[in-house]
Amino acid sequence: MSSSIKIESVVKEKNRMGECPVWEERENALVYVDINAQKVCRWSPLTNEVQSVSVDARVGSVALRQFGDYVIALGNRFAFLDWDTQKVTTIHELEQDKPNNRFNDGKVDPKGRFFAGTMAEETAPGVRARRQGALYTLFPDCSVIKQLDQVDISNGLDWSLDHRTFFHIDSLAYAVHAFSYDVHTGKIACPRLLYQLEKEEQMPDGMCIDVEGKLWVACIDGGRVIRIDPETGKRIQTVKLPTPRITSCCFGGKDYSEMYVTSAYDGLDEATLAKEPHAGEIFKITGLGVKGIPQNFFAA
């Protein structure tokens, strides 16, 4: 790990399950969700203040809309969130035949479509129905298609810089997969294994891409983010964080040279929590020597 890398806890307000960080340039703020607290949050580095909007279901992901405000995936539905009025407007309900399912991670593709996937919730600690999830795409005209089926925990996702490859994580496969991607239609096809996580890396969660086309994967229970070269399928860097449940990452700041990393305290027992004072905080990593790219906007 380079000696110039600096890690600091910037959001001390702890998240039960912090996820889906998105840098919002127009607000100069980091937007993210606390899934289990059913909140969409916005942190300003200038004021160090966290604002939040409570919603009526577990919210897996948030993304920016082209003309302001947000699109979110919560419970079993896609919705728009108006920040000022705190109004949530449902666009589409899905999987009504699967009451244990909920939306998880999501991100907007290069053409302004919102991809988000689902997963089965645990029915008891460590117990969940397998392969109940799916990956969906919400189009700007508010139509929806199903892209993948038989998914366990649909998680991190991003697109190659040339817009020809889609990267996706199904957490219980402990792997990152690559798909061919048609930027004109939004369709994905031909999955292949890109990277299988090693034992100490634990389970892959959220993911983002940098300006060099390399992937950064958050390792939940692995306490780290890892950098993967999609060309070779090899891990090229590991950055360890000061808490185990590292959930997702994104680049941000004025020139996208800072990485923001979310974490969780849910899933840690009391004894472990006592030894993990930073669990649930959000970290800023500087000195990585590489920048990220701005988030895409949902085109509606």
- The answer on whether 28 is annotated among ligand-binding residues is no
256: left (phi over 0), alpha (psi -120 to 50) or beta: left
Find out whether 67 and 83 touch, Cβ atoms under 8 Å.
no
Please indicate if the annotation marks 102 as binding a ligand: yes
Q: Report CA-CA distances (Å) from 140 to 114, 132, 300.
A: 8, 26, 5
User: 9 is written with which tokens?
Assistant: 């806890």
**Could you give the dihedral angle defined by the CA atoms of residues 238, 243, 247 and 250, in that order, rounded to the nearest 10 degrees?**
-60
Q: Which of 109, 158, 170, 205 is catalytic?
A: 205
- Residue 260, SS3 per DSSP: strand
205 is in an annotated binding site: yes
Q: Which long-range contacts (CB under 8 A, 24 or more apart) does 68-71 make?
A: 68/26, 70/31, 70/40, 71/108, 71/114, 71/138, 71/298, 71/300
49 in a labelled binding site: no
Burial of 189 (0-12, 13-18, 19+ CB in 10 A): exposed
Q: Assess whether 221 carries a catalytic annotation.
A: no
Nearest to 116 by CA among 55, 162, 75: 75
Is 296 labelled as part of a ligand binding site?
Answer: no
- Binding-site residue numbers for a divalent metal cation are 19, 155, 205
Residues flagged as binding site: 19, 102, 104, 122, 155, 205
Residues designated as active site: 205
Q: Which residues are annotated as a binding site for substrate?
A: 102, 104, 122
